[in-house]
Amino acid sequence: MIGNLKPLEILLIVVVILLLFGAKKLPDMARSLGKSARILKSEAKAMKKDDEAAAPTATTEQPAQHQESPRTIQAAPGDVQSSRPVSEPNRTTQS
């Protein structure tokens, strides 16, 4: 589809977008879109890491003495202001 557009048509589309949204709002929109993409990527990595870690621990029992520190989720790497603790379900079962 882009191959059918001529340079003048692409320029006209860019001008219309600038008129609709304004030059001041476009950098903010791009910044928020990038931040959202980073959050989504970090959450997807955390979920994948949790799934990989849960598979071996489901078959082997951990000693009750071992206490882990509470985990936190960060919105972006290095972002400490928006981190929050994660509550995990208790996985103790009785046989």
DSSP assignment of 36-76 equals: HHHHHHHHHHHHHHHHHHHHHHHHSPPPTT--PPPPEE-SS
- Say what the pTM is: 0.39
Comparison of pLDDT for 60 and 53, the residue scoring more: 53
Lowest-confidence region among 6-15, 16-25, 69-78: 69-78
Tokens of 5: 């557009």
Average pLDDT (70-95) is: 60
* The predicted structure's pLDDT at residue 93: 57
User: ∠ at Cα 78 (72, 83), nearest 5°?
Assistant: 30
Strand partners, 85: 72
